[in-house]
C-alpha cells in the first residue's frame, strides 16, 4: 500500500491543488479567510512535499510512470516524471508556498475583493503547471496546458473592470488560439508517427520530410512561443499586468510564461529532437526570433515608467534566453536554458514581490515617484537590487550561472552573433533596472513626499509580504554561489540535456 502511494506521488501533486480549489469554491464565503488561506497553504505544502521527495530517485535515474486512461490506440492520458520536468516542478511547487504567503499579505493589505475566486483559480493554475511538468506525451501536455490557460483567466480579469476584461480577452485570444494550432500539429504528428510519447532526443525521426517537419514544428511551437512571450506574439503579457501583483508574479515566474518556455524545450528536445530540428532548419529560424525579442524587449523596457510594465517587458526578453539556449542545440546551452527556468523564476518573482510591496505600502507604481523610497523600505529595495543584478547576469547571482552556460554553448558552436546578443542584453538589463535602484536610494530630500517617513522597519510592507521576497532574494544569491544548493536542480538540468543529446544520436 505504501509503495503504491509513493508511485502515485505525481498524480497526488496534481490533484491536491485541484481539491483545494474545489473546497475553496464550494465553501466560499461560508468559511473564514483564515480557513481559506489555510487550505491554500496546506495544499502548497503537500504538493511541494510530493515533488521534492521524488528528486533523489529522479537524480538516480528512476522515472515515475502513471497511465490514467487510454484515449485511442497510442494516445493516453499519462504522467511521467523525468529530470527536465522535475526542474520545472520543483520551481513551481516551491515558489507556490512563498507566493501563497505573499498573496495573503497582499490581498489583505490592499483590501482586495473576490479573494475566494482568486485563491481557487491560483490553486488550479498550479495543478495545470504540475500537470505540464509531468505530462508523458503531447496529448497530456495539451490538456494541462489548456487547464492552465483557462484557470489563469479569472486572475487576469480579477478586478472585473473594463481594462481587466480587455486584457482577459486578449489573453484568451492569444493563448487559446495558439493552443488550437498546437492541437492541429499534434493530430498530424499522431497520424505520421502513431504515438505522442515524449522521448529524449525526439520520437518523430524520419516519419516526416524536412519540409513537413518544418511546418508542423511552427504550428506546434506557436503554443509555446505565445506563452513564452516571443515577439511578435507577446502583447498579451504586458496587457495582463492589470491584474494584482501576485498574479503578475504567477504569470512571470511560477506558471504561465515558464510553461511556454518549457513547451519549447519539450518540442525541440523531446518531440522533434536536435537532429531533426537541425536538418529541417526549424531552430535556425526560431533562434533569430528569440534574439530579436531579447534586444527589442529590453529597449522597450527602458522607456517604461510604470514598474510592473518595465518588469513585464524584462520578462519578455528573459524568457527568450531559454528559447535561445534551446535553439543553439548544444548540451551546455540546453543545460543553461533549462536552468534559466530556475534562475529567472527566483529573480523575477523577487522583483514583482518588491513591486507589490511598494504599491501596497506607498501606493506608488511609477518609477519616477519612487525617489527616496529605499530610505523607507531598505530591505525591500535591497532585495530588488540583488534581483536586478541577477537579471543582468552578474557573478555570484543565479542568473550568471544560466546565462554563462548559454554563452558557452554559443561559443562552442561558433555563433558569435548570439554571444553579442547575450552581452548586449546584460548591459541593457543594467540600463533599465539599476536606475530604479538608484532612484530609490537617492536622498529622500529630493522628494519631500517621503520626509514624514523615518528610517525604520515600520516603513516596510507586512511580514507576510516581506519575508517571501527576502527568501527568494537570498536563494538567488545562494544558487549563484552553489547552483545545486536547491534540490540539485543544476544536476537535473545537466542530466536532462545529456539525455536529449544522447537520445538524438
More confident site: 55 or 122: 55
Terminal CA-CA length for the chain: 40
pLDDT score recorded for residue 446:
45
Q: How confident is the model at residue 242 (pLDDT cuts 50, 70, 90)?
A: low
| Pairing between β-strand 75-81 and β-strand 64-72 as defined by DSSP bridges | antiparallel
pLDDT tens-digit readout, 49-106: 999 999 999 998 888 888 888 888 878 899 999 999 999 999 999 988 888 888 877 7
User: Per mean pLDDT, which range of 37-46, 185-194, 218-227, 484-493 is the poorest?
Assistant: 218-227
What value does the mean pLDDT take over residues 237-254? 65
Reported as a pLDDT band with limits 50, 70 and 90, residue 456 is very low
- DSSP string across 208-236: S-HHHHHHHHHHHHHHHHHHTT-TTS-TH
Report the predicted TM-score, pTM, of the whole model to 2 decimal places.
0.90
Nearest to 315 by CA among 394, 396, 238, 398: 238
Cα–Cα dist 46/6, whole Å = 13
Assign 118 a pLDDT band (cuts: 50, 70, 90). Answer: confident
% of residues, the chain, pLDDT over 70: 88
Contact present, 245 and 308 (Cβ < 8 Å)? yes
Q: Which H or E run contains 498?
A: helix 489-503
Sign of CA dihedral 225, 227, 230, 232: positive
Give the mean pLDDT of 200-226. Answer: 86
pLDDT of the residue at 407: 93
CB distance 49 to 56 below 8 Å: no
**Cα distance between residue 272 and residue 198, in whole Å:** 9
Instruction: Taking residues 19-33, report their average pLDDT.
Output: 79
- The Cα 373–Cα 370 span in angstroms is 5
φ, ψ dihedrals at 71, nearest 5°: -90, -60
d(CA 141, CA 133): 8
Q: Would you say 222 and 280 are in contact if contact means Cβ atoms under 8 Å apart?
A: no
Contact 466, 357 (CB under 8 A): yes
Which is more confidently placed, 379 or 152?
379
Residue of 164 and 302 predicted with greater confidence: 302
Min mean pLDDT across 261-270, 424-433, 495-504 is at 495-504
Model confidence at 336: pLDDT above 70: yes
Taking residues 126-155, what's their average pLDDT?
89
| Average pLDDT of the chain, as a whole number | 84
The pLDDT assigned to 457 comes to: 41
Q: pLDDT at residue 323 above 60?
A: yes
8 Å CB contact between 95 and 153? no
**Positive or negative torsion for Cα 19, 25, 27, 31:** positive
pLDDT on residue 232: 75
In the chain, the percentage of residues whose pLDDT exceeds 90 is 37
Q: Pick the closest to residue 130 from 96, 88, 76 (CA basis).
A: 88
Q: In this predicted model, which residue has the larger pLDDT, 232 or 417?
A: 417
Distance CA 124, CA 106 (A): 19
- Integer-rounded Cα radius of gyration of the chain: 22
Q: What integer pLDDT is reported at residue 12 of this predicted model? A: 92
Nearest to 251 by CA among 348, 343, 321: 348
Q: pLDDT band at 339, cuts 50/70/90?
A: very high
Query: Please, what sign has the CA dihedral across residues 475, 480, 484, 488?
Result: positive
Q: Is 227 a residue whose pLDDT tops 50? A: yes
At 453, the pLDDT band (50, 70, 90 cuts) reads very low
Instruction: Read off the pLDDT of each residue in 194-209 and give the average, rounded to a whole number.
Output: 88
- Residue 255, pLDDT above cutoff 50: yes
> What sign does the CA torsion over 405, 406, 412, 417 have?
negative
Question: Among candidates 196, 197, 79, which has minimal Cα distance to 132?
Answer: 79
Q: Is the pLDDT of residue 452 over 50?
A: no
Rounded to whole angstroms, how far apart are CA atoms 65 and 42? 26
DSSP H helical segments within 134-272, as ranges?
138-156, 162-193, 210-227, 236-239, 245-249, 256-267
Q: Is the pLDDT of residue 458 over 60?
A: no
How far is residue 253's CA from residue 342's CA, in Å, rounded to a whole number? Answer: 9
CA 336 from centroid of its chain's CA atoms: 15
Find where cell 545529456 sits: 498
pLDDT above 80: residue 254:
no
**Dist CA 243 CA 302 (whole Å):** 22
Which grid coordinates belong to 448? 519631500
d(CA 236, CA 63) in angstroms, rounded, equals 36
What is the rounded average pLDDT of the residues 178-193? 88
- Selection from 463, 496, 468 nearest residue 108 by Cα: 463
pLDDT given for residue 2 in this prediction: 53
Quickly state the pLDDT bin for 3 (edges 50, 70, 90).
Answer: low
Q: Is 298 a residue whose pLDDT tops 50?
A: yes
Amino acid at each position: 500500500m505504501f509503495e503504491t502511494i509513493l508511485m502515485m506521488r505525481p498524480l497526488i501533486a496534481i490533484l491536491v491543488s485541484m481539491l483545494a480549489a474545489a473546497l475553496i469554491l464550494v465553501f466560499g464565503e461560508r468559511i473564514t479567510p483564515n480557513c481559506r488561506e489555510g487550505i491554500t497553504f496546506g495544499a502548497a505544502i503537500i504538493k511541494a512535499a510530493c515533488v521534492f521527495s521524488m528528486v533523489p530517485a529522479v537524480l538516480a535515474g528512476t522515472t515515475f510512470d502513471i497511465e490514467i486512461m487510454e484515449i485511442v490506440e497510442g494516445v493516453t492520458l499519462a504522467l511521467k516524471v523525468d529530470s527536465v520536468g522535475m526542474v520545472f516542478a520543483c520551481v513551481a511547487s516551491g515558489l507556490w508556498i512563498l507566493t501563497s504567503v505573499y498573496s495573503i499579505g497582499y490581498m489583505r493589505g490592499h483590501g482586495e475583493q473576490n479573494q475566494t475566486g482568486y485563491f481557487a483559480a491560483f490553486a488550479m493554475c498550479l495543478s495545470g503547471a504540475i500537470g505540464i511538468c509531468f505530462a508523458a506525451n503531447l496529448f497530456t501536455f495539451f490538456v494541462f496546458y489548456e487547464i492552465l490557460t483557462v484557470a489563469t483567466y479569472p486572475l487576469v480579469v480579477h478586478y472585473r473592470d473594463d481594462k481587466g476584461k480587455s486584457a482577459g480577452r486578449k489573453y484568451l485570444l492569444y493563448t487559446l488560439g495558439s493552443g488550437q494550432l498546437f492541437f492541429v500539429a499534434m493530430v498530424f504528428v499522431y497520424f505520421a508517427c502513431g504515438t505522442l510519447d515524449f522521448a529524449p532526443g525526439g520520437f518523430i525521426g524520419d516519419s516526416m520530410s524536412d519540409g513537413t517537419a518544418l511546418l508542423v514544428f511552427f504550428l506546434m511551437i506557436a503554443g509555446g512561443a505565445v506563452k513564452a512571450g516571443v515577439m511578435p506574439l507577446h502583447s498579451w503579457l504586458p496587457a495582463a499586468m492589470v491584474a494584482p501583483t501576485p498574479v503578475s508574479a504567477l504569470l512571470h515566474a511560477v506558471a504561465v510564461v515558464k510553461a511556454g518556455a518549457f513547451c519549447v524545450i519539450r518540442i525541440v528536445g523531446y518531440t522533434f529532437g536536435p537532429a531533426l530540428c537541425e536538418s529541417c532548419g526549424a531552430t535556425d529560424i526560431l533562434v533569430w526570433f528569440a534574439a530579436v525579442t531579447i534586444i527589442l524587449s529590453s529597449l522597450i523596457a527602458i522607456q517604461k515608467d510604470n514598474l510592473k510594465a518595465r518588469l513585464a517587458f524584462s520578462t519578455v526578453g528573459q524568457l527568450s534566453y531559454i528559447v535561445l539556449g534551446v535553439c543553439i542545440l548544444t548540451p551546455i546551452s540546453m543545460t543553461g536554458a533549462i536552468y534559466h527556468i530556475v534562475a529567472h523564476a527566483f529573480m523575477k518573482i523577487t522583483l514583482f514581490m518588491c513591486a507589490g510591496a511598494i504599491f501596497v505600502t506607498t501606493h506608488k507604481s511609477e518609477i519616477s515617484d519612487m525617489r527616496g523610497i529605499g530610505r523607507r523600505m531598505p530591505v525591500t529595495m535591497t532585495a530588488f537590487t540583488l534581483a536586478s543584478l541577477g537579471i543582468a547576469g552578474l557573478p555570484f547571482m543565479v542568473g550568471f550561472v544560466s546565462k554563462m552556460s548559454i554563452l558557452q554553448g554559443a561559443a562552442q558552436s561558433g555563433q558569435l552573433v548570439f554571444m553579442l546578443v547575450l552581452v548586449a542584453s546584460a548591459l541593457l538589463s543594467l540600463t533599465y533596472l539599476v536606475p530604479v535602484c538608484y532612484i530609490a536610494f537617492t536622498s529622500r530630500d529630493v522628494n519631500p513626499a517621503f520626509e514624514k517617513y523615518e528610517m525604520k522597519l515600520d516603513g516596510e510592507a507586512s511580514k507576510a509580504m516581506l519575508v517571501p521576497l527576502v527568501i527568494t532574494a537570498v536563494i538567488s544569491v545562494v544558487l549563484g554561489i552553489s547552483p545545486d544548493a536547491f534540490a540539485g536542480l543544476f544536476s537535473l538540468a545537466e542530466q536532462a540535456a545529456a539525455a536529449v543529446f544522447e537520445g538524438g544520436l
